[in-house]
């Protein structure tokens, strides 16, 4: 017979973040920071830079380190039994994931077959850039609409601040994406900003383009790929249980995954490289858990996406030297980030309609 004390201990253990995950996460983060500091101090490599992918002995060694660090954390998360008890993706979620996969395969094929067209589609003010901006803008509006509804129904302040924070951040990203409509409206860049801006445009992210891109891509990878896996693996961990609605689900990870392989000019950046390897492993973990639950269609979709990310990265590294511009792939990466952010906002919107409100007490 199980005592009350034993039950309490089991519940407390399930609500704690397992030591192997803590250890792997801290060690991986420390190693990445240490390597970046070493390269900055000893080799004079800025931690945020854009350059062709390199394949010296040292670069192969640091690539192996990235794989090992990603595998360490992925293995610790994959060991959690809760992964096998998640709800299957809905038909609509699988359809959106399939659409993202199809677009990703199309991008790989276009890069391999027609680099000039691949370059042309990545130009500013064309459909790809505007689609990215509109997706993030719509996501921001969904969060702000949820905040307005939450205010009326007495939602607690922390939730309201998070909704407003996500909504405001999404709108900021969307407007930055199109330089606040400068090229549509036609207004001039103020002289002080034009002198500091790398592209003479009215935006803030190009004041330090490399740093802002690294922060955006790494942050998006953590939000859209890492956190969904942590959410499924540790649903009873207190922070996740409290803020589950504000953490993307694995459908968002599936839709966002193609952003991981669109790395050529940023491939030498350790956080970007680590995320690519971790993302492939995350897709494999999601596929395995779906298979164990008997969701074969879902398992096949995640497995195929993982393969597409791996093949896509090889394609980008293979054809990258012959791209018209070193940054051509980044516009495609930003589209998949935008698609993931929009799906996250939609997921949140749907969850709010079916969940009880967390009101002020």
pTM, two decimals, is 0.92
Instruction: Give me the pLDDT at residue 358, please.
Output: 55
What percent of the chain stands above pLDDT 90? 76
pLDDT tens digits along 179-205 = 877 777 777 778 777 777 877 788 777
Return phi, psi of residue 17, to 5°: -75, 120
- What b/e readout covers 256-269, taking b as 16+ CB neighbours within 10 angstroms? bbbbbbbbbbbbbb
CA pair distance 344, 256, nearest whole angstrom: 10
Instruction: Give me the pLDDT at residue 355, please.
Output: 59
CB atoms within 10 A of CB 84: 13
pLDDT surpasses 80 at 211: yes
Instruction: Give me the pLDDT at residue 202, please.
Output: 80
Banded pLDDT at 16 (limits 50, 70, 90): low
Find where tokens 């699988």 sit.
Answer: 94
Instruction: Give me the pLDDT at residue 14, please.
Output: 52
pLDDT tens digits along 271-299 = 999 999 999 999 999 999 999 999 999 99
Angle between helix 328-354 and helix 209-221 axes, rounded to 10 deg: 40
pLDDT surpasses 50 at 93: yes
Domain boundaries along the sequence of the chain: 18-354
Angle between helix 57-78 and helix 19-42 axes, rounded to 10 deg: 160
pLDDT surpasses 50 at 150: yes
């Amino acid at each position: 017979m199980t005592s009350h004390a034993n039950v309490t201990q089991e519940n407390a253990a399930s609500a704690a973040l397992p030591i192997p995950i803590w250890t792997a996460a801290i060690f991986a983060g420390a190693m990445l920071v240490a390597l970046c500091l070493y390269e900055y101090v000893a080799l004079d490599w800025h931690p945020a830079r854009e350059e062709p992918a390199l394949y010296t002995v040292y670069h192969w060694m640091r690539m192996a380190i990235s794989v090992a660090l990603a595998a360490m954390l992925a293995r610790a998360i994959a060991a959690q039994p809760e992964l096998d008890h998640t709800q299957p993706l809905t038909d609509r979620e699988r359809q959106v994931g399939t659409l993202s996969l199809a677009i990703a395969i199309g991008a790989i094929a276009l890069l391999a077959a027609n680099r000039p067209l691949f370059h042309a589609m990545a130009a500013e003010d064309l459909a790809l850039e505007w689609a990215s901006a509109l997706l993030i803008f719509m996501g921001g509006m969904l969060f702000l609409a949820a905040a307005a509804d939450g205010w009326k129904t007495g939602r607690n302040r922390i939730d309201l601040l998070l909704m407003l924070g996500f909504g405001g951040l999404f709108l900021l990203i969307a407007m930055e994406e199109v330089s606040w409509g400068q090229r549509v409206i036609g207004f001039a860049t103020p002289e002080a900003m034009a002198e500091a801006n790398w592209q003479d445009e009215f935006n803030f992210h190009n004041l330090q383009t490399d740093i802002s891109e690294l922060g955006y891509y790494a942050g998006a990878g953590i939000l859209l790929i890492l956190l969904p896996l942590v959410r499924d693996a540790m649903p009873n961990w207190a922070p996740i249980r409290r803020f589950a609605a504000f953490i993307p689900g694995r459908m968002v990870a599936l839709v966002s995954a193609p952003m991981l392989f669109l790395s050529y000019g940023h491939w030498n950046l350790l956080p970007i490289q680590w995320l690519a390897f971790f993302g492939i492993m995350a897709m494999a973990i999601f596929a395995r858990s779906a298979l164990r639950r008997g969701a074969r269609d879902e398992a096949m979709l995640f497995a195929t996406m993982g393969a597409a990310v791996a093949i896509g990265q090889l394609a980008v590294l293979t054809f990258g030297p012959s791209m018209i511009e070193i940054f051509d792939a980044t516009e495609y990466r930003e589209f998949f980030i935008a698609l993931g952010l929009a799906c996250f906002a939609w997921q949140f919107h749907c969850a709010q309609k079916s969940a009880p409100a967390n009101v002020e007490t």
